[in-house]
Structure 1
Amino acid sequence: MPSTDPKLMSGNANRPLAQGIARRMSMHRGMRVGLVDARVERFNDGEIFVEVFENVRGEDMFIIQPTSNPANDNLMELLIMADALQRSSAGRITAVIPYFGYARQDRRTKSRSPISAKLVANLIANSGVERVLTMDLHAAQIQGFFDIPVDNLYASPIFELDVRHHFQGSMDDVMVVSPDVGGVTRARELAKRINAPLSIVDKRREKAGEVSEMTVIGDVSGKKCIIVDDICDTAGTLCKAADVLIDAGATEVHAYITHGVLSGPAVGRITNSRLKSLVVTDSIDQPQPVLDCPNIRVVPTAPMLTQAILNIWNGTSVSSLFDTDTLEPLYEPFYPSLALGQTA
């Protein structure tokens, strides 16, 4: 007979996050919850092989697998795991994709170019996945690329808790900054939550990947600036924005980025930059050089993702997790000074 509990399965993309979710779920359920016993391996030629060692017939399955670097390998792992579960008669399969790769290719920017985000959405839906749980999609319209339900969580409530904890006593000096015009909505959301003013860094590109000019829109003199964005890849734009803000009179520059892709020279650039701190979530499993970087900090998403999984399993609202008051009890161990009734 199927169990009455959700079952978790993980690929190789972010095992620490999957194990963190399992630990949090054990606390919620009052019983040990582990990852489904399975192997996700590769043949000598690189082909991916999945074998599930437990009975999953009729079970409510949650596959935890961000499609981060190497994106193609992790995406194929997700698809093959979903196919294995579907062929094993799983009751429902939900893909928990904290970082959705290929999201930056969400429209045709030039003639004869693909919309890869739509292609990936089709692949996931056709693999047997019936629902997707993700976080901070690069573009909100990607939810419409799927022909299955999509729950898109936001990191801004977590960032609000972190900002209020680390900037206690100086919240009046904080200003939220959008690194480009396209990210204003995301930055405004955090600014509204912490009751801070908003500024914009307008950037112009001569070619892809290179910023030729930056202009600060708004007065940042004497302010502690917080740059908010969803993805940091090579960190070139981020570090240049920090320089422009400091030159414009900002006293400190911090950055809150949901998905720390941090490829190529990113870590070196951040280490040597004028950024006082870069905060990323653990949606992507970070290598040791990132964890060792003195001005990079990782905040956990396991409490929020665990509650979202339980809400989906229970058939209750996921949008309740957009509210900071809902998340405060979940994050109290990380920010004890912001416990209910003690908020600064």
Structure 2
Amino acid sequence: MRRTCIFGGLSHPELTDFICEKLGRKPDKVELRKFANGETSVEIKTSVRDQAVFIVQSGSHKTNDDVMELLIMIAACKGGSAKSVTAVMPYFPYSRQSKKKSHRGAITARMIANLMHVAGVNHVVTIDLHASQMQGFFKCPVDNLVAEPLLARWIRSTVENWKEGVVVSKNPGGTKRVTSLADALKLSFGIVTTDTRRPNMGQSMYNSLETTITLVGNVRDRPVFIVDDIIDKAGSWIAAAETVVKRGGATKVVCMATHGLFGGDCLREMDECEEIDAIVVTNAFPIPKEKREGIRKLVILDVSTLLAEAIRRNHHGESISQLYMHHD
């Protein structure tokens, strides 16, 4: 690739290396340091004048550092007369804060988009935004790639009787994602709904809340694929897995998501859950080595080919619509 620079932030250096490997090149040199007081320092070590620049920076467990580092790198490249700057953000930080949750809440995802605009970004490439309408927060084009073809390929190549499978959403909000994958694989789908309410409003408010879990759809003697975009807390995944096995009679449960955030002990708890057979995520979000130690059920799918191809096509002005399609 001629006349491009690819820089990687500190959030996910391994993914940057994988992407560059697929493009047959090495990442360009940038020096990223922290001052003693915690401030981020960025020094671009390659000439970016009149170049198309791609900065690979996902969210990680150090979200605020990642965001600040990205903004400074964008500004540094713009200050160095780069022709264009594309932010390649496989996991978009703060994407779950894309609407007001309370009267005095902030729409933080929109604020991040505005900050990136101020820093000088020209284009954003990401994977499976938590809410696809977030693309409207940006003042530049956004390629919101999907990991669904990767997940579908894994199901077809790994699960023997996948054609009998059912794709299940663990909450009503995720049904669009689930029906899309079910359509692609020509499978039926189901929903696990969790309803929390007080048994009797006449009683004291300190009474315990009653949770009713309902399974919609037939999963008896079938493998189940529970799908969402993010795995962060184990509770709802374990509850859904137990519901489809104990109440529904499912034979196998695979938990699938694009972004494995695995907050706290989430990964270990899911790994120890008897009803869960596999946990499938991509490497869009970096999973630290210490979290993966001793985990048996985790499968990590590689998105570097998808991102490398998106970079290549963007640079050459080719259509990227093919990247959304399923290929056997």
Same fold (TM over 0.5): yes
- Report if the CA contact (8 A) 1:203-1:211 is conserved: no
Distance 1:196 1:8 in 2: 40
Deviations 1:80-125 (A, max 9, x none): 1101111111110000000001111111122111111111110111
Structure 1 residue matching 2:72: 3-state secondary structure:
helix
- Pairwise CA distance, 1:195: 1.0
Say yes or no: does 1:272 pair with 2:272: yes
Identity level (%): 33
Structure 1 residue matching 2:23: 3-state secondary structure:
helix
Distance 1:5 1:278 in 2: 40
Aligned residue in 1 for 2:109: 117
Aligned equivalent of 2:19, options 18, 21, 44: 21
Distance 2:310 2:154 in 1: 20
Structure 1 residue matching 2:103: 3-state secondary structure:
coil
Say yes or no: does 1:107 pair with 2:107: no
Aligned residue in 2 for 1:178: 169
Q: How many residues align?
A: 315
Q: What is the TM-score normalised by the length of structure 2?
A: 0.93
Distance 1:173 1:188 in 2: 16
- Name the Cα RMSD after superposition: 1.6
Distance 2:197 2:306 in 1: 39
- Pairwise CA distance, 1:6: 2.5
Q: What is the TM-score normalised by the length of structure 1?
A: 0.88
Distance 1:107 1:231 in 2: 17
What pairs up with 1:312-331 in 2 under 5 angstroms?
Answer: 312-325=314-327
Say yes or no: does 1:162 pair with 2:154: yes
Deviations 1:309-337 (A, max 9, x none): 11110111112101123xxxxxxxxxxxx
Aligned residue in 2 for 1:335: none
Aligned residue in 1 for 2:243: 244
Query: Which residue identity lines up with residue 261 of structure 1 in the other structure?
Result: L
Structure 2 residue matching 1:7: 3-state secondary structure:
strand
Distance 1:67 1:79 in 2: 13
Distance 2:70 2:120 in 1: 11
What pairs up with 1:200-279 in 2 under 5 angstroms?
Answer: 200-205=191-196, 212-247=211-246, 248-273=248-273, 274-279=275-280
Deviations 1:252-298 (A, max 9, x none): 11011100000112022112112100001001111113433101110
Distance 2:27 2:78 in 1: 17
Structure 1 residue matching 2:184: 3-state secondary structure:
helix
Query: Which residue identity lines up with residue 286 of structure 1 in the other structure?
Result: I
- Report if the CA contact (8 A) 1:231-1:261 is conserved: yes
Aligned residue in 1 for 2:202: none
Q: Name structure 2 gaps, 5 residues minimum.
A: 199-208
Distance 2:138 2:210 in 1: 33
Aligned equivalent of 1:58, options 50, 53, 57: 50
Distance 1:163 1:102 in 2: 29
Aligned residue in 1 for 2:127: 135
Q: Name structure 1 gaps, 5 residues minimum.
A: 27-32, 326-342
Aligned residue in 1 for 2:285: 284
